[in-house]
Chains A and B, each alone.
Chain A
Amino acid sequence: MDLDFTPADDAFRAEVRDWLATHVPDVPLPSLETAEGFAAHREWERTLSADRWSVVSWPEEYGGRGVPLLHWLIFEEEYYAAGAPGRVSQNGISLLAPTLLEHGSAQQCARILPPMASGEVIWAQAWSEPEAGSDLASLTSTAVRAEGGWRISGQKTWSSRAAFADRAFGLFRSDPGADRPHRGLTYLMFPLDAEGVTVRPIGRLDGKPAFAELFLDEVFVPDEDVIGEPHQGWRVAMSTAGDERGLTLRSPGRFTAAAERLTALWRQHADPADSALRDRVADAVIGARAYQLFAYAGVSALAAGVDTGGRASGASSSLNKIFWSELDIALHEAALDVLGPLGELSDGAPDAPDGGAWAEGYTFSLAGPVYAGTNEIQRDIVAERLLGLPKGRR
Chain B
Amino acid sequence: MRFLLDPETRDFARSLDGMLGAAGTEGAVRAWAAGDHGPGRALWARLSDSGVFGLAVPERYQGLGPLPVELTVAFEVLGRHAVPGPVVETVAAAALLGRHAEASGADPVGGGLLAEIASGKRSASLQLAAQGPYALDADAADAVLVVEGDTLRIAAGWGPVQPSADPARRLAAPQVGTVLAQGPEVTAAAAHAADVAALMTAAQALGVGRKLLAGTVEHVKQRAQFGVQVGSFQAVKHRLADTLLGLEFAAPLVHAAALALAGCSPDAGREVAAAKVAAGEAAYRASRTALQLHGALGYTDELGLSLWIRKARPLRDAWGTPAACRARVLSAAGTEATA
B221 within 8 A of A: yes
Query: Which chain B residues lie closer than 8 Å to A3 at the CB level?
Result: 1, 3, 256, 259
Asked if B253 and A306 sit within 8 Å, CB to CB, the answer is: no
Contact present for B4 and A306 (CB under 8 Å) = yes
For the complex, what is the distance from the CA of A210 to the CA of B26, rounded to whole Å? 57
Contact bitstring B322-339, A, C-beta under 8 A = 1, else 0: 110011011000000000
Q: State the CA gap A81–B305 with chains docked (Å).
A: 45
Q: B326 contacts A392, CB within 8 Å?
A: no
Contacts of B330 in A (CB 8 A): 263, 266, 278, 281-282, 285
B109-150 contact mask (Cβ, 8 Å, vs A): 1 or 0:
000000000000000000000000000000000000000000
B9 at the interface (CB under 8 A from A): yes
Q: A322 within 8 Å of B by Cβ?
A: yes
Given contacts A293-B253, A379-B237, 20 further A-B contacts (CB under 8 A): A1-B2, A1-B9, A3-B259, A5-B1, A70-B1, A266-B330, A282-B326, A282-B330, A286-B329, A289-B274, A308-B4, A316-B248, A319-B249, A323-B249, A379-B234, A383-B231, A383-B237, A383-B241, A389-B236, A391-B232
6 tightest A-B CB contacts, nearest first: A392-B232, A293-B252, A383-B237, A282-B326, A382-B241, A379-B241
Kindly list chain A residues whose C-beta atoms are within 8 Å of the C-beta of B238. 376, 379-380, 383
CB pair A389 B232 closer than 8 Å? yes
Bound Cα distance from A69 to B240, whole angstroms: 31
Find out whether the CB atom of B248 lies under 8 angstroms from the CB atom of A309. yes
Chain A contact residue count (CB 8 A cutoff):
54
A4 beta carbon closer than 8 Å to chain B = yes
User: Is the beta-carbon distance between B245 and A323 smaller than 8 angstroms?
Assistant: yes
User: Is B197 in the interface zone, CB < 8 Å from A?
Assistant: no
State in angstroms the CA–CA spacing of A124 and B229 once bound together.
41
Check A294 against B232 for contact (C-beta < 8 Å).
Answer: no
B1–A9 touching, CB < 8 Å: yes
* Chain B 230-260 per-residue mask, 1 if CB under 8 angstroms from chain A, else 0: 0111101110111011001110110110010
Instruction: Give the shortest distance, in Å, between A272 (CB) and chain B (any CB).
Output: 10
A291: chain B residues at CB < 8 Å are 249
Whether a CB of chain A sits under 8 angstroms from the CB of B312 is no
Q: A300 at interface (Cβ–Cβ under 8 A)?
A: yes
CA distance A283 to B238 in the complex (A): 22
What A residues does B232 contact at CB under 8 A?
A: 389-392
Given the complex of chains A and B, what is the CA–CA distance between A300 and B229 in angstroms?
37
CB-defined contacts of A4 to chain B, threshold 8 Å = 1
**Within 8 Å of chain A (Cβ to Cβ): is B173?**
no
Determine whether A194 belongs to the interface, using a CB cutoff of 8 Å to chain B: no
In the assembled complex, 8 residue pairs joining A and B whose CB atoms fall closer than 8 Å, in A order, are A1-B255, A282-B330, A285-B274, A304-B4, A319-B245, A319-B248, A380-B234, A387-B244
Nearest CB on B from A76, distance (A): 15
Q: Which residues of A contact B323 (CB under 8 A)?
A: 275, 279
Which residues from chain A contact B154 at a C-beta distance below 8 Å?
none
Within A46-101, the residues touching B (CB, 8 Å) are 70
Given A3-B256, A286-B329, decide whether A300 and B248 contact each other with a Cβ distance below 8 A: no
